[in-house]
Structure 1
Amino acid sequence: MAETILNPGVGAEGYRQLFGVDEKVVCISGSSRGLGKSLAMCFGKLGAKIVLSSHNTEELAEAEAELARLGINVAVIRADMRSHDDCGALISGTVDRFGRIDVMICNAGIDIIRPAQCYEEAEWDQIVDTNLRGYYYCAKFAAKVMLDQGGGSIIMTSSVAGSLGIPGLAAYAASKGGVNQLTRTLAVEWADKGIRVNAVAPGFINNFMDGVHRNSDSPYQRRAMALTPMQRRGDLAEYFGPYVFLASSAASFVTGEIIYVDGGYAAS
């Protein structure tokens, strides 16, 4: 399909298929709420088969019901990203339900905002274990399946904090910097095996969580606006395009990339 884009005779349907994700099996960690749930809805409405995952069983049940009401083919697998075994069970459960895994979106993440000198050992470990080790575990288990089935796409949710200094985010930034390097390294290692590995790095998201709503006048919000050239947060729907692109055949020659979706933050 990737080659047909050079053929002037290809019809509109061919181009739609190039960018399509219909019938792809998409597993998303950290998808019971926020960006992960929104991505699940987007991929599901585009015809993908969705696996939701989180450690929070109550939120998962609510998200599953919400997607099912939209007519989306959805499965739910509880998994704690800090657990090697849970990550393995997430991938094996995906294959048990749908027979394969085409796209693994490593999205689960947590943050604790502290002055760098104030992190407790348990806090640091929780952030790094969830945001970095869990991504590696899911990528590893997904790759084992993808190697056997002839390829796939792994997409990691990074952050502008992975490459830029932001006060109060030492642990989170360290984990996301690790995600960036993990993305590049796995991409190079698996490039000739049909597995593409990329990351999307959001800036400030209008995710309606406490203290970060676009109408908030908190110091955190004022700082976000001051550092973002577009002078606003990104709405969740504005993140769909990069993820769908990276999951599709249109990105067949794209691997090892960190795509910033940040209103110009990283460029300023």
Structure 2
Amino acid sequence: MTSKLFDISGKTIVISGSSRGLGKALAGCFGSLGAQIVISSHEVDELRETKQEFEALGYDVVAVPADVRREQDIQNLVGDTVAHFGKIDVMICNAGTDIIKPAETYEIDEWEHVLSINVRGYYLCAKAAAQRMLPQRRGSIVMTSSIASSLGVPGLTPYAVSKGGANQLVKTMAVEWADRNVRVNAVAPGYINNFMKGVHIDLDTPYQRRAMAHTPMGRRGELSEYFGPYVFLASDAASFVTGEILYVDGGYHAA
């Protein structure tokens, strides 16, 4: 019995923002565990290459290009998933972006860019998935949050606001949909040894030294260290878990 608790084989799992980084790593993990995976990105060439990589590994994978800011793209993403696999079991709302700079220097278009992807995108993905999951009375939605969702981190104003918004999406949707067995949770990473496209990091700066000084484990998390939390929330092992923000941050949130 316990050996099947974390079994996700045969589950259909959609991951937004999965042509690179954490999303790609999660898709690879789910595929290696026997899940049917649907990867998605607005970067079409990169998405095609990722699909080819996964197919070479023998994973059951479909790739659907989508911009998470566009509702029709997300409706197509979920619709194509159901058309191909006949169902959707898990939606991982992961596509995100960031612009790091002092709070007083953001242009309004930079602010709107971050929030449109990180909040609007999450809502559209969760909404489209829930429209399929609620009638079948089962499903799991997992959002990628951040330690910045609940703690002050210099240089991350719109990003922090967007991740705080994601946390509130989790809690509100979880309460609304709990009676129909659709669970909504989030994983909140700390500092990962991986960087978003367009974010240039110098690890020897006061900002980065501060980050490591505030992480009790004293290092960045590796991508593989996030597999367990996402698999848990996607699996039946978390069947009574909803509305939770699971911090995976080397102790940063506790310090």
TM-score in terms of structure 2 length: 0.96
Query: What is the deviation of 1:212?
Result: 4.4
Note the 1:81-92 alignment, pairs <5 A: 81-92=68-79
Q: Which amino acid aligns with 2:186?
A: A
Q: Please give the alpha-carbon distance, in whole angstroms, between the structure 2 residues aligned to 1:254 and 1:263.
A: 22
Q: 1:192 aligns with which of 174, 179, 194?
A: 179
Query: What is the deviation of 1:220?
Result: 3.5
**What's the counterpart of residue 32 of structure 1?**
19
Q: Which amino acid aligns with 1:109?
A: G
Residue 228 in structure 1 maps to residue 215 in structure 2: yes
Given that residues 211 and 218 in structure 1 are in contact (C-alpha distance below 8 angstroms), is that contact kept between their aligned partners in structure 2? Answer: no
Note the 1:109-188 alignment, pairs <5 A: 109-188=96-175
Task: String of CA shifts for 1:112-169, please: whole Å, max 9, x gaps.
Answer: 0121111111111111010011111111110010012221000000000000011111
Q: Which amino acid aligns with 1:150?
A: R
**What's the counterpart of residue 7 of structure 2?**
20
SS of the residue corresponding to residue 52 of structure 1 reads strand
Q: Please give the alpha-carbon distance, in whole angstroms, between the structure 2 residues aligned to 1:58 and 1:256.
A: 35
Query: What is the deviation of 1:211?
Result: 4.6
Q: Please give the alpha-carbon distance, in whole angstroms, between the structure 2 residues aligned to 1:229 and 1:43.
A: 29
Given that residues 229 and 264 in structure 1 are in contact (C-alpha distance below 8 angstroms), is that contact kept between their aligned partners in structure 2? Answer: yes
Q: 1:67 to 1:218 in 2, by over 3 A?
A: farther
Query: What is the deviation of 1:208?
Result: 5.5
**What's the counterpart of residue 3 of structure 1?**
none
Given that residues 128 and 175 in structure 1 are in contact (C-alpha distance below 8 angstroms), is that contact kept between their aligned partners in structure 2? Answer: yes
Q: Please give the alpha-carbon distance, in whole angstroms, between the structure 1 residues aligned to 2:205 and 2:79.
A: 43
Given that residues 206 and 212 in structure 1 are in contact (C-alpha distance below 8 angstroms), is that contact kept between their aligned partners in structure 2? Answer: no
Q: Please give the alpha-carbon distance, in whole angstroms, between the structure 1 residues aligned to 2:210 and 2:98.
A: 17
Q: Please give the alpha-carbon distance, in whole angstroms, between the structure 2 residues aligned to 1:71 and 1:220.
A: 41
**What's the counterpart of residue 84 of structure 2?**
97
Residue 218 in structure 1 maps to residue 205 in structure 2: yes
Q: Please give the alpha-carbon distance, in whole angstroms, between the structure 2 residues aligned to 1:157 and 1:33.
A: 15
**What's the counterpart of residue 248 of structure 2?**
261
- Segments ≥4 residues shifted beyond 6 Å: none
TM-score in terms of structure 1 length: 0.92
SS of the residue corresponding to residue 190 of structure 1 reads helix
Task: String of CA shifts for 1:77-120, please: whole Å, max 9, x gaps.
Answer: 01101111111111111111111100000000000012111111
SS of the residue corresponding to residue 185 of structure 2 reads strand
Residue 61 in structure 1 maps to residue 57 in structure 2: no
Aligned residues, how many?
253
Task: String of CA shifts for 1:174-220, please: whole Å, max 9, x gaps.
Answer: 0000000110000000000010000000000001666548xx42333
Across the aligned residues of Structure 1 and Structure 2, the Cα RMSD in angstroms comes to 1.2
Q: Please give the alpha-carbon distance, in whole angstroms, between the structure 1 residues aligned to 2:251 and 2:73.
A: 37
Q: Please give the alpha-carbon distance, in whole angstroms, between the structure 1 residues aligned to 2:200 and 2:127.
A: 35
Q: Please give the alpha-carbon distance, in whole angstroms, between the structure 1 residues aligned to 2:200 and 2:219.
A: 15
The percent identity for this pair of structures is 63
Task: String of CA shifts for 1:42-90, please: whole Å, max 9, x gaps.
Answer: 0000000000001101110111111111110000001101111111111
- Give the number of the structure whose alpha-carbon radius of gyration is greater: 1
Query: What is the deviation of 1:233?
Result: 0.2
Q: Please give the alpha-carbon distance, in whole angstroms, between the structure 2 residues aligned to 1:23 and 1:82.
A: 29
Q: Which amino acid aligns with 2:239?
A: S
Note the 1:1-20 alignment, pairs <5 A: 14-20=1-7
